[in-house]
Amino acid sequence: MNIFSYLESIFFAILLIVGFGYFTINVKKLIRNIKLGKDVDRSDNAEARWKNMAWIALGQSKMVKRPVAGFLHVIVYAGFIIINLELLEIIIDGLFGTHRVFSFLGGFYNFLIASFEILAILVLAAVFVFWIRRNVIKLKRFISSDLSGSPKKDANVILYFEVVLMSLFLLMNASDFWLQQAGVAHFTSVGSFPISQFIAPLFNGISEIGVIMLEKTFWWLHIIGILIFLNYLYYSKHLHILLAFPNTYFADLNAKGKLDNLESVTNEVKLMMDPNADPFAAPTADATAVPSKFGASDVMDLNWVQLLNAYTCTECGRCTSACPANQTGKKLSPRKIMMDTRDRLEEVGRNIDKNKGVFIPDNVSLLNDYITTEELWACTSCNACVEECPVNISPLSIIIDMRRYLVMEQSAAPQSLNAMMSNIENNGAPWQYNQMDRLNWKEE
């Protein structure tokens, strides 16, 4: 190993430390932000949770409900996961100056490289179709107003990333194959290259030194591209690549129509029902404690699973395209609910970073500043968005919690709802009839 190779390995090690180090910093920030949410117990029924994760996150079972997009997504997903297994070999080769260190696997290694190349071509084809769907055909859910600006650009950026990474992978293999066929030292003849062997003739007429430089260039650009993509994930909707697994594991296992009871309301009712309780007494644990809020007006009022949902959102728009309120022209978009929650959570995170680990009230909240009451009351609570989400996100749970805040904290329900609740309070039924008149209908 000459001095140049030593320097190259040292530079490669520094690059890895910087790339994975910055990624680790962002992961810690992500976990901190999610932990800003209220605690909720999702440790029950581990067997069902593991099954959910395996079937939905790994098996892509909900994606294929829309066959074309689902099949293409499976190809890209499999390509991304499987092809990047070669990242381990790249890291070892880069640190120790070896060439295709796993080639000792023999025939299995040939099978792996061949599979990687075929997947790379399939990924390029799938990405092309995805690009056409977004930019030429312009499917409605990709051009709606709630997906404007940076979120819309982000989807294309990811597609371009995929094209570049897959192309560099194939060009790296093609130049390597050419050098192997030429018998150049260090480039021992290993691997099977069903795709890149047809690209290799492009290097004919170039000197061995020239092809070696090209191979090095493709190799370096490929690993740098992977590290850039890794660190771009935090700022992208493609964070779901990592978070889909915990999100499906911690998803609510209850029937979709079942709503949870607010602990704060339960405690209030228990207090009212206790004949020995003093309703004017201060809390015994901490007299300075802030009373529990009914419902949610900001991200800190939501539970940590709801905040995990917000970061996991793929922005695919399946929820919004299935939403009956949205289909009838109302302002509600379940996708926007999740995107707004994530944007507000990021704003809170930046506030904490700026103020050295402490959140300073900023006179901004998720309710009104991000999500309007018009959007919240447009929801029919039908759970179509929850059913459609490919990674088990529940926009409805956030909507319900914010509605609870409007009703119980601000008495800001729509007039029709206030009239119904008043009738229930006074008449024991939603209708404006005296209890003595309930059976009058039978006389007719």
For residue 186, the model assigns a pLDDT of 81
DSSP string, 207-262: -HHHHHHHHHHHHHHHHHHHHHHHHHGGGSGGGHHHHHHHHHHSS--S-TTPPPPP
Kindly tell me if the per-residue pLDDT of 280 is higher than 70.
no
Q: Does the pLDDT at position 287 exceed 60? A: no
Of 165-169, 314-318, 414-418, the range with the lowest mean pLDDT is 414-418
40-49, 314-323, 348-357, 428-437: range with lowest mean pLDDT: 428-437
pLDDT at 328: 94
Question: Is the pLDDT at 278 greater than 80, yes or no?
Answer: no
| Top mean-pLDDT range of 2-16, 350-364, 425-439 | 350-364
Given pLDDT bands bounded at 50, 70 and 90, which one contains residue 358?
very high
Roughly what angle, to the nearest 10 degrees, separates helices 67-83 and 150-181?
50
**In residues, how long is the chain?**
444
Q: Return the minimum-mean-pLDDT range out of 238-247, 253-262, 301-310.
A: 253-262
Whether the per-residue pLDDT at 289 is higher than 50: the answer is no
Low-confidence winner among 101-110, 161-170, 306-315 (lowest mean pLDDT): 101-110
Query: Could you tell me which of 153, 160, 129, 155 has the C-alpha nearest to residue 225?
Result: 160
The pLDDT > 70 percentage for the chain reads: 96
State both tokens at 203.
């290097």
Indicate the class that CATH gives domain 263-427: mainly alpha
Cβ–Cβ contacts within 10 Å for residue 217, how many?
14
Phi-psi region of 232 (alpha: psi -120 to 50; beta: other; left: phi over 0): alpha
DSSP SS3 for 302: coil
Region 245-264: mean pLDDT is: 90
Which residue pairs from 279-287 have beta carbons closer than 8 angstroms and sit at least 24 positions apart in sequence?
A: none
Helix (H, G, I), strand (E, B) or coil at 342: helix
Q: Residue 168's pLDDT is what?
A: 94
Q: How far is CA 157 from CA 84, 127, 154, in A?
A: 19, 11, 5
Main-chain phi, psi angles of 70, to 5 degrees:
-65, -45
Token representation of residue 371: 């999500």
318-343 pLDDT tens trace: 999 999 999 999 999 999 999 999 99
C-alpha 323/C-alpha 144 separation (Å) is 13
**Model confidence at 191, in pLDDT bands (50, 70, 90)?**
confident
Q: Rounded to whole angstroms, what are the CA distances from 16 to 91, 228, 272, 384, 442?
A: 8, 11, 60, 43, 80
* Spacing of C-alpha 86 from chain mean position: 24
Task: Please tell me the predicted confidence (pLDDT) of residue 265.
Answer: 82
Kindly indicate the confidence band of residue 282, based on its pLDDT and cuts at 50, 70 and 90.
Answer: low
Q: 182: which residues sit within 8 A by CB, 6+ positions away?
A: 208, 211
Q: Do 326 and 332 meet the contact criterion of CB atoms below 8 Å apart?
A: yes
By the 8 A CB rule, do 340 and 366 touch? yes
- Helix H or strand E encompassing 390: none
Rounded to two decimals, the pTM is 0.88
pLDDT for 137 beyond 70: yes
Q: What is the pLDDT of residue 283?
A: 55
Distance (Å, whole) CA 120 – CA 163: 9
Nearest in space to 301 (alpha carbons), one of 414, 197, 401, 179: 401
pLDDT-above-90 percentage for the chain: 62
Q: Which residues pair with 38 in a beta bridge?
A: 303
Q: What is the mean pLDDT of the chain?
A: 89
Would you kindly state where each structural domain of the chain is located, as residue ranges? 3-34+66-249, 263-427
288 band by pLDDT with thresholds 50, 70 and 90: very low
How does DSSP classify residue 284? Answer: S
Give the integer Cα–Cα distance in Å for 362 and 370.
14
